[in-house]
Structure 1
Amino acid sequence: MRELPAWLRGTVTLWLAFWAAVHLYFGGFGFPEPIEMRSLHLLVFTPPLFLLYPAFPKRSPMRRPSVADWAWAAASAAPHLWVFVFAAAVSDRMEYVDPFTPTMMALAIICMVTMLEAIRRAVEPGLAWMVAICLLYMFFGHHLPGVLNTRVFTAAEIMEAAWLVPTAGGVYGPLTGIVATTIAVFILFGSFMQGSGTGRLFSNLGAVAAGRYTGGPAKVAVISSGLFGTMSGSSVSNVITTGAMTIPLMVRIGYRPAVAAGIESAASVGGALMPPVMGAAAFVMAEITNIPYGDILVAAAIGAVLYYFAIVAAVHFEAKRAGMKPMALQDIPAWREVLADLHLVVPIGLLVHLMMERWSGNYAAFCATLAMVAVSWLRARTRMGWREILDSLTNAGLTMAPLAVSIAASGVVVSVLTATGMVVAFGGIIKELAGGNLGLLLLLLCLTVLVLGLGIPTTPSYIIAAAIGVPQVLELGRPLGVDMMQAHLFIFYFAVIADATPPVAAAAFAAAAIAKASPTIASLHASRFGIAGFTVGFAFIYDPGIMLRGGLVEILTATSIQVVSLLLITASYAGYLVRPMGLPLRLLLGGIGLFGAFGHIAPDMLRLTVTATALCATAALQTMITRKDSMIRPVVVLAGLLLALPAVAQDVAPQQAGPTPSAIRARGEFNCGVSTGEPACSPPVR
């Protein structure tokens, strides 16, 4: 980003702050008509990108925009200004029936070119290339053979589909609508959290909670990154915010730079999974599925906790194996430092309460933002003056601008996939490769999302993969009762962790730059520390108890399986449980952990019994060998309790009608009538 001269920096700052404040006002008092709101959102946030981001960082001026940059900014505003002025006419026109005039054609071309250039500069070149390839596919797809062949599209049809079909997709489609309304207000709430000092609260809380234990700085990084995720939901911003403090501390106590970068990036990526303010993709999910956002938060809560539990366990085992020390006492803040900022959690609690009461997301975030300003005045150290409010509004605008163009581009991709029929074609290809096997289909979709994550951000990759894969998951998952939320959460998790998986991992690259380590090695470490993202993603489909579904037995069983399996897996690759482990034992425990996490074909109680027995036996044996106290002793007790709780709950829980999903899988039966209300299916042919 450029360092602009003072007069221009002030102008851009006031522009972004003003329009961010306008979005906050709309969140509380109502939005304009959809086409007006969407065109206004792009009109005010696209032009600043050409002033803030140089065309070529090594050749373009870094202290001022060039004449070409001003021309790009003016050109990018023209299409959105025209739509805003003639919003009523655009809303009333019949898509693909009313003529697409030469003026519309010229503006559509300008919109596509400037949007691609803004994405290339400020977001990700890979996303710009994907949009360009999609548009070219509409032009030349009728020349391609086989499943890639399309009908002939005229230039007017292509530009209209990409630009001026607000009901189905394109630049002004529903995706732009959700980012211009609900997501914008939540971004403002997160920005005001940072401006009020909530970040300091989270950082101090993480240090106090974990700093005194083995590998303290790494655990502080995990906890603080998870808490910071409630503010931004952005993996890269989490890395930059918390990593500047935690990565040097981790290196100082003995973690290798690449490992420290991997821990920080894995923890920061998980911020987009952490309620109550998950990443932008979660709001898009609510819009696509028509599922209340509060329901999504509830369903994702245990999964998010499991993700961070696995990282904490992994860094603990790594630290014990290496003999690392806790944080220095002088680096750990006193509890009074935490308590001095504790009042700042009140707006977060208010937001969660309003969401659980089914208030609209934008109005809940509006109320919580105002509450954050009011609560900050309770103490002098957190009091937000006009400068802090202005900075918060500006930072929110800086976050909204690149997100606006990236979501608009996602709308173009979805519009092209829909118009050409490639959603059906790609879905058919994946379904054919899966051969009717749900597990293989999920694996192919997992790989698809991770590949998409190589070149495009989380939200666009989630949108595209959901359009392609969700119908197939619902069809093949019908015998197990897989529903819309399960399918979307599965794809959402892999879209999020794609930011930390090689070969291109934005969060890992940012962390590696701080640690001065290899980005590729850092991303490999991030993948292993974030292993829970893979296990939880599949558990959403096969173990819906982690979504707080079913009875007490199912919830406890599903959660216990994940906890014990993740302990085995993390101990295996760390090479330490109570004491260092040799390769044969590591491979054995790792295999048992993978069986527990992914062996969904086996009955749930068998998976839990095998994994918990392996964990307890290994820990007990190693404890007897060491013949001294160990910090891991509570793990033995925990595993025993996890093994016993489902059985106890089974005795006290009321009997429920109908077979459980695990029993159905064990017998190879279907339960079509259980969740769909349709007549029961016949058992499969053996």
Structure 2
Amino acid sequence: MRELRGPIGVAIALWAVVATLFHLYTAGFGFYEPRSQRSLHLLFLLPLAFVLYPAGASSPKDRPSVLDWGLAALAVAANYYSYAQAFRINLRFENVTPLLWPEIVFGVVATLLVLEALRRAVTPVLAGLLALGILYLFATEYMPGMLNYRDMSFSEIVETMYLLNGMGMYGSITGISATMVAIFIAFGAFVTGSGTGRLFHNLGTRIAGRQSGGPGKVSVISSALFGTISGSSTANVFTTGSFTIPAMMRAGFRPHFAGGVETSSSVGGQIMPPVMGAGAFVMAEITNTPYSSIIVAALLGSLLYFFMILVSVHLEAKRLGLVGCDPSEIPPWREVLKDIHLLAPIFLLLVLLMMGRSPHFAAFWSIVAVLVVSWISPRTRLTPRKLWDVLVQAGNNMVIVALACAGASMLVACLTVTGVVISVSTLVATLADGSILIAGILLMATTLILGMGVPTTAAYIIGASIGAPILIQMGVPVLSAHLFVFYFAILADATPPVSVASYAAASIARSDPMRTGLAAFRLALAGFVVGYSYLYTPALTLQGPVLEIVGQVLVNVLGLVIIAAGLFGYLRSPLPMPLRMLLVPVGLFLTLFEAYSVWLRIPVELAVLAGLAYWPTLLSTPAPVRGETTRRAESAPD
């Protein structure tokens, strides 16, 4: 991202501020009709991709090039045409009314601009997938098997990408980005700008700093708290990891493990209510489920995820004989309480969501609350200068998510209009042959592969369009099926060989990215367990009898401790490798094997943990009574 200064920097910052204010205004006082809202959303954000992100290594880093300005101007023109002609476009008959020549011209231009913006600002992988999807539309009649489809004319392809209201560039996924996602990104920028990150770090240090491996536990707690408002794993790594990773290394953790702790914790922030990641808002729209219900459904799973990371950090610290933070680094409670008022907007957000208010309404008034409570203390006060920086940051942060949603919506359109989604779903269902486990493995692999190259939101959108209907047909509840896909779209950021968040953490820890990714994968294994638990029981979504919910929590807690002990080789004492290799599958089996009641599996898990805790005592030879050794030696034959 360019570091722009001078008049050019001020002008671009002003554009970002206007983009943020537009989304704040519409969230607080009412949205435009869908096409107008989505067109203005991309009109403000698509040009920023060209002026903020250079085209390549040889492009100027301190200013946009002439080409960048030209592409930005075309982005404004193409989206303004869609906005200005929204009434007429809404009244036309899709796939029937002939296209006007301006629609063809601007449709081609807008499609190419989105491809280039994805390549620059998001990832070349998503740009490449979208390009392949568009090329596929031109060659559908020549494709074999399930990829074969009728001939599509050039104008029909342009219409699919540019003019349809339900899918394509201005489809429903872009609509979610233009309404709910944008305002929550602004909320995260406001909360961060007020100093809430400092509060979370101080609170985490105060709670866990004195314990064994304290800096590692501080990283888990602060990243979980910060992730609830940031919604981005990579941003979370750079924000909290800049001070938690060095602190862990000073405490004695190995660099790649420190990076892995920060990666797994930051990735988990996207599944931690109340804000979660942008994909959660997409899930609310796709499933027609209130966002408050998604928060409730995701709560237990996220707590279990972070529980295993904390247990793993504790076991690793005990194995290495590490102590807690230096007492001088632990802030007193009075220092923590100086920022405690910053929690009020987050509580207000939760209250409004639980009252059934719309997410954008709750986020808007929570932002107003941030502005008010920040003035309670001079060190949290959002002065005009700080407010300007927050508005600029919010606008810049919206760019990547808006592009990812638009690109994913266009790719899903390519797969939907040609029937590929139905064909792939049928293939997976045939291979699974009614087995939820096999279907889950196939969809997990697909989502992880997608998530290694594209952002979480895009990976979830594509994975949910293909996989969620299959799981639902097999009897998995709608929300559980979508949470399964959502979990693995997120966990791709911590899964080697391509885990973007691990690369970010490795750059701070100066460790090998692959070793950091493997450490993050081991720490994030709870996400895989929880993801599969969603398939077999609705109890983790807080649905069903209380006793069943309690049983599922206990069986997962105990099973995750067994798995962590196997992965990190320690419980009360070091564990030998043969035993460790046995513990991981045993823990997985006892946690996920729903053929037996949880109340049968829980005693077995307790017995396994008791055996692990006392196995050195059970296997050791009793020490001889004092003096007995001498007597035995005297009576022994020569």
TM-score range, shorter chain: over 0.9
Q: % of aligned pairs identical? A: 46
Superposed displacement of residue 425, structure 1:
0.7
Establish whether residue 491 from structure 1 lines up as the match of residue 501 from structure 2: no
Superposed displacement of residue 607, structure 1:
2.1
Determine the C-alpha separation between the residues in 2 that align with 1:233 and 1:282: 10
What is the match of residue 394 of structure 2? Answer: 396
What is the match of residue 528 of structure 1? Answer: 522
Quick check: 2:48–2:396 contact (8 Å CA) kept in 1? no
Alignment of 1:420-439 (within 5 A): 420-439=418-437
In the alignment, which of 581, 591, 594 is matched to residue 585 of structure 2? 591
Determine the C-alpha separation between the residues in 2 that align with 1:22 and 1:61: 30
Quick check: 1:592–1:610 contact (8 Å CA) kept in 2? no
Alignment of 1:344-493 (within 5 A): 344-476=342-474, 478=475, 482-493=476-487
Quick check: 2:168–2:413 contact (8 Å CA) kept in 1? yes
TM-score by length of 1: 0.89
**Runs of 4 or more consecutive aligned structure 1 residues displaced over 6 Å after TM superposition:** 623-626
Quick check: 1:239–1:511 contact (8 Å CA) kept in 2? yes
Q: Deviations over 1:562-597 (max 9, x none)?
A: 100000001111110011111232233323211122
Alignment of 1:100-179 (within 5 A): 100-166=99-165, 168-179=166-177
What is the match of residue 18 of structure 2? Answer: 18
Determine the C-alpha separation between the residues in 2 that align with 1:438 and 1:624: 41
Whichever residue aligns with residue 465 of structure 2, its letter is: A
Superposed displacement of residue 323, structure 1:
1.0
Alignment of 1:478-627 (within 5 A): 478=475, 482-621=476-615
Determine the C-alpha separation between the residues in 2 that align with 1:250 and 1:352: 32
Larger deviation, residues 381-390 vs 273-282: 381-390
What is the match of residue 336 of structure 1? Answer: 334
Determine the C-alpha separation between the residues in 1 that align with 2:343 and 2:235: 21
Q: Deviations over 1:492-527 (max 9, x none)?
A: 011111111011111001101111111112111111
Larger deviation, residues 249-258 vs 316-325: 249-258
Q: Deviations over 1:599-619 (max 9, x none)?
A: 223332222221122112322
Q: Deviations over 1:203-242 (max 9, x none)?
A: 1111111111111111111111000111111000000001
Whichever residue aligns with residue 54 of structure 1, its letter is: P
Whichever residue aligns with residue 597 of structure 1, its letter is: T
Quick check: 2:2–2:63 contact (8 Å CA) kept in 1? yes
Determine the C-alpha separation between the residues in 2 that align with 1:435 and 1:623: 48
With over 3 angstroms needed to count, the CA separation of the structure-2 counterparts of 1:622 and 1:53, relative to structure 1, is same
Superposed displacement of residue 148, structure 1:
1.4
Superposed displacement of residue 543, structure 1:
2.5
Determine the C-alpha separation between the residues in 1 that align with 2:435 and 2:377: 59
Superposed displacement of residue 624, structure 1:
8.0
Determine the C-alpha separation between the residues in 2 that align with 1:595 and 1:326: 34
What is the match of residue 2 of structure 2? Answer: 2
Whichever residue aligns with residue 230 of structure 1, its letter is: T
Determine the C-alpha separation between the residues in 2 that align with 1:604 and 1:370: 46
Whichever residue aligns with residue 553 of structure 1, its letter is: L
Larger deviation, residues 94-103 vs 554-563: 94-103
Larger deviation, residues 379-388 vs 617-626: 617-626
Whichever residue aligns with residue 578 of structure 1, its letter is: R
Aligned residue for 2:394, secondary structure, equals helix
Superposed displacement of residue 325, structure 1:
2.0
Determine the C-alpha separation between the residues in 2 that align with 1:402 and 1:239: 17
Whichever residue aligns with residue 24 of structure 1, its letter is: L
With over 3 angstroms needed to count, the CA separation of the structure-2 counterparts of 1:218 and 1:625, relative to structure 1, is farther
TM-score by length of 2: 0.95
Superposed displacement of residue 625, structure 1:
8.8
With over 3 angstroms needed to count, the CA separation of the structure-2 counterparts of 1:27 and 1:622, relative to structure 1, is farther
What is the match of residue 321 of structure 1? Answer: 319
Quick check: 2:176–2:282 contact (8 Å CA) kept in 1? yes
Determine the C-alpha separation between the residues in 2 that align with 1:603 and 1:422: 40
Aligned residue for 2:379, secondary structure, equals helix
Determine the C-alpha separation between the residues in 2 that align with 1:391 and 1:495: 31
What is the match of residue 50 of structure 1? Answer: 50
What is the match of residue 623 of structure 2? Answer: none
Whichever residue aligns with residue 94 of structure 1, its letter is: F
With over 3 angstroms needed to count, the CA separation of the structure-2 counterparts of 1:68 and 1:578, relative to structure 1, is same
Quick check: 1:592–1:611 contact (8 Å CA) kept in 2? no
Larger deviation, residues 16-25 vs 30-39: 16-25
Larger deviation, residues 360-369 vs 17-26: 17-26
Aligned residue for 1:380, secondary structure, equals coil
Superposed displacement of residue 316, structure 1:
0.6
Q: Deviations over 1:219-269 (max 9, x none)?
A: 111111000111111000000001110111111222221111111100000
Quick check: 2:23–2:179 contact (8 Å CA) kept in 1? yes
In the alignment, which of 187, 204, 215 is matched to residue 185 of structure 2? 187
Q: Deviations over 1:530-587 (max 9, x none)?
A: 0111000011121221211111210110000110000000111111001111123223
Determine the C-alpha separation between the residues in 2 that align with 1:560 and 1:501: 27
Quick check: 2:436–2:535 contact (8 Å CA) kept in 1? no
Whichever residue aligns with residue 572 of structure 2, its letter is: V
Determine the C-alpha separation between the residues in 2 that align with 1:99 and 1:568: 64
Quick check: 1:269–1:499 contact (8 Å CA) kept in 2? yes
Whichever residue aligns with residue 232 of structure 2, its letter is: S
Q: Deviations over 1:114-156 (max 9, x none)?
A: 1111111111110000100000111112111111111110111
Determine the C-alpha separation between the residues in 1 that align with 2:140 and 2:515: 39
What is the match of residue 663 of structure 1? Answer: none
Determine the C-alpha separation between the residues in 2 that align with 1:105 and 1:22: 28
Determine the C-alpha separation between the residues in 1 that align with 2:97 and 2:358: 35
Determine the C-alpha separation between the residues in 1 that align with 2:197 and 2:617: 40
Determine the C-alpha separation between the residues in 1 that align with 2:611 and 2:515: 34
What is the match of residue 32 of structure 1? Answer: 32
Determine the C-alpha separation between the residues in 2 that align with 1:60 and 1:601: 60
What is the match of residue 275 of structure 1? Answer: 273
Whichever residue aligns with residue 399 of structure 1, its letter is: N
Determine the C-alpha separation between the residues in 1 that align with 2:615 and 2:207: 30
Quick check: 2:477–2:538 contact (8 Å CA) kept in 1? no
Determine the C-alpha separation between the residues in 2 that align with 1:78 and 1:351: 37
Determine the C-alpha separation between the residues in 2 that align with 1:618 and 1:578: 8
Aligned residue for 1:436, secondary structure, equals coil
Quick check: 2:404–2:458 contact (8 Å CA) kept in 1? yes
Determine the C-alpha separation between the residues in 1 that align with 2:162 and 2:607: 59
Aligned residue for 1:230, secondary structure, equals helix
Aligned residue for 2:458, secondary structure, equals helix
Whichever residue aligns with residue 227 of structure 1, its letter is: L
Determine the C-alpha separation between the residues in 2 that align with 1:621 and 1:354: 51
Superposed displacement of residue 5, structure 1:
2.9
Quick check: 1:544–1:558 contact (8 Å CA) kept in 2? no
Determine the C-alpha separation between the residues in 2 that align with 1:66 and 1:608: 64
What is the match of residue 654 of structure 1? Answer: none
Determine the C-alpha separation between the residues in 2 that align with 1:602 and 1:102: 65
Aligned residue for 1:453, secondary structure, equals helix
Q: Deviations over 1:395-443 (max 9, x none)?
A: 1101111211111111101111110000101101111211221110011
In the alignment, which of 258, 261, 264 is matched to residue 260 of structure 1? 258
Larger deviation, residues 224-233 vs 611-620: 611-620
Quick check: 2:213–2:313 contact (8 Å CA) kept in 1? yes
Establish whether residue 73 from structure 1 lines up as the match of residue 67 from structure 2: no
Determine the C-alpha separation between the residues in 1 that align with 2:400 and 2:593: 41
- The gaps in structure 1 that reach 5 residues or longer are 627-686
What is the match of residue 631 of structure 2? Answer: none
Superposed displacement of residue 2, structure 1:
1.2
Determine the C-alpha separation between the residues in 1 that align with 2:281 and 2:200: 24
